[in-house]
Structure 1
Amino acid sequence: MVRSLLGNVDAQCHVRAAWARAPFNVGIATGPSGLLVVDLDVPKSQNRKGSSDAPDGAATFAALCERAGHDVPDTYRVRTASGGMHLYFTAPAGVRLTNTTGTVARSVDTRAWGGYIVAAGSTTPTGAYEALSAPEAAPLPLWLQTILQPALKPAQTPSGVAAGQSRRYADVALANETRNVAGAQPGARESALFRAARALGRFIAWGDLPRHVVEQALQEAGQGAGLSAAECRSTLRSALDWSITHNSGRREAA
Structure 2
Amino acid sequence: MTHHPPSAPLMAALTAAERGWHIFPLRPHDKRPALHGETVCPGIGDCAGGHRKWEDRATIDPDRIRRAWASLPFNVGIATGPSGLLVVDLDMPKRRSKSSADTPCGVTTFRALCERAGQPVPATHTVRTASGGAHLYFTAPAGARLANTAGRLGKLIDTRAWGGYVVAAGSITPTGPYTPVNPMPPAPLPEWLHSLLAPRQPSRGLMAVPASSRASRYATAALRAETATVRDARHGERDATLLAGARALGRFVAWGDLPRDVVEEALQSAGECTGLSERQCRSTVRSGLNWSIAHNSQRRTA
Please report how far the alpha carbon of residue 205 of structure 1 lies from its aligned counterpart in structure 2 after TM superposition. 4.7
The amino acid that maps onto 2:77 is G
Structure 1 distance, partners of 2:123, 2:169, is: 17
Which whole-Å CA distance do the structure 2 matches of 1:158 and 1:133 have between them?
Answer: 49
Which of 47, 71, 77 aligns to 2:126? It is 77
Aligned length: 177
Q: Which runs of 5+ in 1 are unaligned?
A: 165-202, 207-241, 250-254
Instruction: Select the residue among 47, 50, 64 that pairs with 1:11.
Output: 64
Question: How far apart are the structure 1 equivalents of 2:206 and 2:150?
Answer: 27
Could you tell me how far apart the structure 1 residues matched to 2:140 and 2:133 are?
Answer: 21
Q: Secondary structure at the match of 1:60?
A: helix
Q: Offset of 1:22 from its aligned partner?
A: 4.1
Q: Within 2, Cα distance between the matches of 1:12 and 1:62?
A: 37
Cross-structure match for 2:163: 114
Matching residue of 1:171: none
Give the deviation of 1:8 after TM superposition: 1.8
In structure 2, distance between residues paired with 1:61 and 1:101: 13
Determine the C-alpha separation between the residues in 2 that align with 1:90 and 1:70: 18
Q: Which moved more, 1:96-105 or 1:154-163?
A: 154-163
* 1:14 alignment partner AA: R
User: What do residues 40-62 of structure 1 show as CA deviations (whole Å, max 9, x unaligned)?
Assistant: 010002x888x710100000000
Q: Percent identity?
A: 51
* Pairing partner for 1:36 from 72, 86, 90: 86
Taking a change above 3 Å as real, the CA distance of residues 95 and 52 of structure 1, as seen in their structure-2 partners, is same
Question: Could you give the per-residue CA deviations for residues 156-198 of structure 1, whole angstroms, max 9, x where no partner exists?
Answer: 556743769xxxxxxxxxxxxxxxxxxxxxxxxxxxxxxxxxx
Q: Is the counterpart of residue 147 in structure 1 residue 196 in structure 2?
A: yes
- Deviation readout 1:104-153 (Å, 9 max, x if unpaired): 10011001111111000000111100001124100111101111112323
Q: Which amino acid aligns with 2:90?
A: L
Deviation at 1:31, TM superposition (A): 0.6
| Helix, strand or coil at the partner of 1:86 | strand
User: 1:29: Cα distance to partner?
Assistant: 0.6
Where does residue 15 of structure 2 map in the other structure? none
Q: What secondary structure sits across from 1:98 in the alignment?
A: coil
In 2, Cα distance between the equivalents of 1:160 and 1:205?
Answer: 17
* 1:131 lines up with 2:184 in the alignment: no
Question: Normalised by the size of structure 2, how large is the TM-score?
Answer: 0.50
Task: Tell me, yes or no, if structure 1 residue 87 matches structure 2 residue 136.
Answer: yes
Q: Does the residue aligned with 1:27 lie in a helix, a strand or coil?
A: strand
Q: Which has a greater percent of helix?
A: 1
CA shift at 1:93, angstroms? 1.0
Runs of 5+ unmatched residues, structure 2: 1-26, 28-32, 35-53, 216-258, 263-278, 290-302
